[in-house]
Every structure is written in C-alpha cells, then in structure tokens.
Amino acid sequence: MLEVEIVHSAEIDKAAAQFHRDGFVPIRGALTPEQLAFAQAGAARVIRQQMEETPLEKANRGFARYSFGQQCQHPEWTMLVDLPSILPILDKIWGSTDYICSGAGGDYSVPGAQIQRLHSDIADFFKDPLGQVTVRDVPAPFIVVNFLMVDFKEVNGAIRFVPGTHRSRHPIPTLEEEPERMKKSILCAPAGTAIIRDVRCWHGGTANRSQEIRPMTSAGYYAPWFRQPGMGSPMPRDLYEKLSPRGQQLCRYIVL
C-alpha cells in the first residue's frame, strides 16, 4: 500500500506542495456527508444504466472496467466542479483563478476487472522538432479531481500511483516490465476523499477481487494557459445557472 498523507482541505499550502512534489494529493473534507450521499446516488444510477446497456465483456476500458464518460448533464457531477473545499487548492497550485472546467466524469471497475497497465492521461502536445521540450517540462496543464464513492481498498481495485512521475521522461513500463513496488503503490482511502492529480502522473487501476463495484467520479480543469480541442459534453443551462458566480466562470465554455 502507498504511504501517503491525506491532507485536510483547509491545509491549502500543504496540499499544493504535496501535489507539486508527488503529482497528486489526497484530500479529506472535500465533500460534506450530504454531498457524498448525493454523488453516490448519482453514480449508482448512471452505473445501472450503463451496465444495462453494455455488458462486462464490452466495457469501454477493458473487461469489467468502465469510464463514466462526460456527465455534466447530471446535477451530481455539476456539484463537483464548484466545490469551495477544492478550488482554493487549485488556485494555489496554478497561482491563478483563471483556469477553466473541462468537464466531469470518472470511472468504475466491477468485480472481475483485472489490473490495468500504468498510463498517463495526456500525450505530448508540444512535439518539439528539436526534442528539447516535452509536456513533462512544464507546470501541470490539466488537473483532474477524483472523488472516491466507496472506501478504496487493495481488494476492490483501488488506483495505484507512482509518485513524482508527472515530470518524468522515462518510458512508462508495461505490466510485464513494471516493478513490484509500483504494483503495490496502491492508494487506499475512505469514501469522500478527493484526489487532486496531475494527469501526467503514472497511474492505473488494480484488480477488483471484491464483491463490490469500485466507482470514482471526477471534475477536470485546464490550466490558465492550456486548452484542448473537444471540450466536455455541454452543461444544461438550468444546471449552470445554479452554480455560484465562480462556478459559472469556470464552466463558461461548456454551458449549452
């Protein structure tokens, strides 16, 4: 199991420093009990719908492993993009409030899902012909905040992270090449924990050997200086109007 401190949402400087060092930081106190229950109910509803339409063997992330896809059309996800417990940490990380929301989604694994190879969630967009600058050489361009909907345990497919790899130029190992220490770098934390992560940091799902579905929802944000084509699915105007003024500013590019 990965030994990492879960930082309280009020410890803004500490959370930002840990993020810059490791490429991710787990946060407690991100969701109130009511917010967690609301998010859990929404995740359970969408999981039921998706699994009725798509059997395990056709899951979009491999057998018994699903991506939620963009879910900004649901209030349980729009809530996540506008959390006062999370946004001050992002402000500190980027030294700015001028970043934007790229959408909201997440993933889940079902009992029977196998270990997923380590990967990064962004390709090198610089494509420097001199080979001197890569996406690994700049501050975080894209941050995803994952919200654990159940207790993440070694037995139920918790995510493994390799600290410090967000700035690494080394090739990501295959499953066959991956050292045992990386396969054991599993982040276990209670339901309601948020994981603020630089999407470049190496990570991967583990085998779900339990009898429960292991879901995590998410909200994504682009750095003030970064944009990517194909923003998330549109957010309905009625949900957008329920956001705070700050939330509306963040979501101005994804509202219908």
Segment 141-153, tens digit of pLDDT = 999 999 999 999 9
- The rounded distance, in Å, linking the Cα atoms of 146 and 118 is 17
Q: Which residue has the tokens 């030994």?
A: 3
Q: How many residues does the chain have?
A: 256
Q: pLDDT tens-digit profile of 104-125?
A: 999 999 999 999 999 999 999 9
CA dist 94 and 89 (Å) reads 9
Instruction: Give the model's pLDDT for residue 25.
Output: 98
Residue 101: φ, ψ to 5°: -80, 135
213, with CB counted inside 10 A (0-12, 13-18, 19+), is buried
pLDDT, tens only, 239-255: 999 999 999 999 999 99
CA distances for 221 relative to 83, 143, 206, 232, angstroms: 13, 5, 25, 11
pLDDT of residue 216: 98
Asked if 78 and 239 count as a contact pair (C-beta separation under 8 A), the reply is yes
- The pTM of this model reads 0.97
Q: For residue 229, what pLDDT band results from cuts at 50, 70 and 90?
A: confident
Structural fold of domain 7-250: Jelly Rolls (2.60.120)
Residues 68 and 216: their CA atoms lie apart, in Å, by: 9
In sequence order, the β-bridge partners of residue 197 are 24, 144
Reading the block at residue 162, the tokens are 């390799």
Interatomic CA distance for residues 81 and 251, integer angstroms: 8
Domain borders along the chain are: 7-250
Instruction: List, for residues 173-220, the tens digit of each pLDDT value.
Output: 999 999 999 999 999 999 999 999 999 999 999 999 999 999 999 999
- Identify residue 195 by its one-letter amino acid code: I
Mean pLDDT of 147-174: 98
- Give residue 231's pLDDT: 66
If you ran DSSP here, which 8-state letter would residue 145 be given?
A: E
Return the pLDDT at 232.
Answer: 61
